[in-house]
Copies of this chain bind each other. A is one copy, B any other.
Amino acid sequence: MMSSLGSTLFKECMRQQLQNPLTNLPRPVRSAELSVNQWVYQTLRQALLSGQIRPGFALTIRGLADVLGVSSMPVREALQRLGCEGAIEVKDNRRVIVPQMTPARLNELFSLRIVLETHAAEGALAYIREEDVRELERLDAEIDRAYKQGDMELGALSNQAFHRYLYQCHPFQVSVPLIERVWLQLAPFVRIAMEKLQRNYRIDRHQEALKAIRHCNAYALRRAIESDIRDGMASIQAVDGLEQYFSEATQVAVKPRLVRG
């Protein structure tokens, strides 16, 4: 009796904890010119990019449609897109989860970031204008402010905005979508690692990058971007007890049911 009740309570607690990230999702206002499909996609994408959905969390079409107040159709299409971007993993038993992380995959993803982003930065350099530098400085200040205030979501998103803005200065850019794909795969894990990082300040090499941009020094810019990414990777890997957040640790958190009336 007692153990049964305890188990029920535990499961209920788990369910609550796991449901939270979806019910608390920030919903961007759906403007008229945005289709429901796009809105659902962007909502989920932003939630993943800011690390609000934990790895191993299971998503269901009906559950999401219910929470977001739309029919299943837009959710299906949004999940298709996220799935082919690697943001979510479609398992063979037709269940969709946020992918687990392994040390090897983490390594590979960071290596890819370095390769892609140094290339994108170098390609953009020739097109960066004075006003772009000012915008980058503004974004850099925003990052610092967010992390000083302990707002991890805003910090992560602003940091991505800084990098994205830099790379998109190249007018014929084709690598940003690939870079964002890598971010999408990293974000959920990086987020839970950052939470365990006690320090609420953050070091980045954005000033170094800006200096390289002002001097039009491609090599220095590449180095700054690479160092920026390596620093981030190092601070993630320095987290105490990181190993418990890899693959096996989260498998208890995999929970199929979302809710039903």
Contact = CB atoms under 8 A, between A and B. Distances in A.
Chain A interface main SS type: helix
Interface of A: 76-77, 80-81, 83-86, 102, 104-105, 107-109, 111-112, 115-116, 119, 123, 171-175, 177-178, 181-182, 185
Number of copies: 2
Closest 3 CB pairs of A and B: A104-B172, A81-B84, A108-B174
A171 B85 CA distance: 19
B108 A119 contact: no
A111 B123 contact: yes
A43 to B, nearest CB: 16
Contact of A174 (B77, B112, B177): B112
Contacts of A185: 174
Contacts of A182: 174, 178
B111 A172 contact: no
A185 B83 CA distance: 19
A174 B80 CA distance: 19
A35 to B, nearest CB: 9
